[in-house]
Structure 1
């Protein structure tokens, strides 16, 4: 092993770190594919979406107006972009796959358009499961810094639709 490089093995991936501390490559062990950070994200659909080649998720390259959770969920399910109508609101875990906490204001890679504000996720907080209406709360991601917060369903925040475009690692 080259003493100037470090390899980190995490579940199904190996992250190789360069001497400057930045990821040199990400290897998806399940697919035996090397994905360099610069190649992970790609503008597709004439710039209307961003393809994440590591997760297989395609992200709408914009955010909705500020909406309460129910309207944001409906927005995500109703949008048609590039001929695709299978968009949905991402879970908190899916949303965090594009957050880079080494970045600030916003914490998304520069390929993404963002307002740097709160974005809804589909993940309801455990303590409000089974409740209806405004008494529910959902996890949201603050795209200024990447922190996750629980917000009441009646609040008005943005949505970023996503769709599954390919198996992870392709």
Structure 2
């Protein structure tokens, strides 16, 4: 007899219109493992960075859909940076602008450092920082900037050489290839202890872990979390974590209507500092800077999961008699207690179908990326099982 699951969830949204300039949130690019504990940044490859060189001084980020200036506009004050971007004509386009903090952070690559960029596509100009279009809330002497080490923060605008300082703050312009959409609700409270970010389509734990823990324990906590009938939670990478930040707010720098328990704290990401492997990146919610600290220190945890469009993970049936092993798996998936007429579908975390058919045990998944997958089994009893590819 087929088991039918009815799921009733009350959702709440409030008027919070926001402009969506990026199609997807790009991955950090980190591809090295720094711990045997499963769940670090390297273990998940979602929306890996991808660029196209237009051979005219412009680069397209094929993940976000933004077009970037290949070589930045050199060192200048923030006032000059606004003028520079507004007057730039490049690649046949004149609608260039300074990026938002989130956009500027999106092209950083956390497998690289100094600069934390893919220098195959972006010219290394020895910049220390890159201007964004956003001043610190309540203080027009400070501006949000990304830095060559891979971070983002609010810095005094007087620190650049052209303003009498000693650091190189450069301008890199961006433009929209298509007209950005306006989303009426940035966040949705799903009524089950989770919040959906409608910009990134990520689902967040509404109430963070109340106890500060080390980085390794943060990973273990996230991987073991069961919330809202889902167990595919993980520790967010630093780009995902920073995407929650609202630079118009401070103390904390996040929407309190939806994240009322987040407080002014440090939150671990799953991302290691590439050239300082005893350190990991974290997000501080006083203003929203990203910085790093020793993995043995204690910070707080807020977990994240994907929002698959094609897969209702919330209806996972954990009572199935069918056993799937090994889990984690590396190449082959073995099925036990199957009747013989089952049909299998394997999805990745964002709902993309990887395999469909009856003979899943004959399939070699050696080339499959590491991460969380959901195996959907259609038969006398339908079920879904969480698998980890290592």
- Residue 106 in 1 paired to residue 255 in 2? no
Of 257, 269, 281, the match for 1:139: 281
**Cα distance per residue 1:47-85 (max 9 Å; x no partner):** 511101111100001111100000111001100111100
- Asked whether the equivalents of residues 57 and 166 of structure 1 are also in contact (C-alpha less than 8 Å), the reply is no
Counterpart position of 2:275: 127
Residue of structure 2 aligned with 1:57, choices 202, 217, 232? 202
Q: Shift in Å at residue 88 of structure 1?
A: 0.5
Q: Please name the residue that 1:91 is paired with.
A: 237
Question: Partner of 2:214 in structure 1?
Answer: 68
The answer to whether the Cα contact below 8 Å between 1:88 and 1:162 also exists between their aligned partners in 2 is yes
- Aligned Cα root-mean-square deviation (Å): 2.9
* 1:149 paired to 2:280: no
In structure 1, stretches of 5+ residues that fail to align are: 1-6, 14-26, 130-135
Distance 1:149 1:109, change over 3 A: same
Q: Which residue of 2 aligns with 1:22?
A: none
TM-score normalized by structure 2? 0.33
Q: What SS does the aligned partner of 1:108 have?
A: coil
- SS of 1:128 mapped into structure 2: coil
1:102 deviates by 1.2
**Shift of residue 8, structure 1, vs aligned partner:** 10
Structure 1 residues 51 and 126: CA distance shift in structure 2, 3 A:
same
Looking at both structures, which has the greater relative contact order when contacts are Cα pairs under 8 Å and sequence separation is at least 6? 1
The runs of 4+ residues in structure 1 deviating greater than 6 Å are: 7-10
Deviations 1:5-64 (A, max 9, x none): xx9966537xxxxxxxxxxxxx9x59x85313xx110111x2511101111100001111
Q: Does 1:34 align with 2:208?
A: no
Distance 1:52 1:166 in 2: 13
Largest Rg, 1 or 2: 2
Q: Secondary structure at the match of 2:239?
A: helix
How far, CA to CA, are the matches of 1:74 and 1:8 in structure 2?
Answer: 33
CA 1:8–1:59 in structure 2 vs 1: closer, same or farther (change >3 Å)? closer
SS at match of 2:229: coil
The whole-number CA distance in structure 2 between the counterparts of 1:104 and 1:33 is 26
- Separation of aligned partners in 1, 2:240 and 2:222: 14
Provide the aligned length of Structure 1 versus Structure 2: 140
2:334: which partner in 1? none
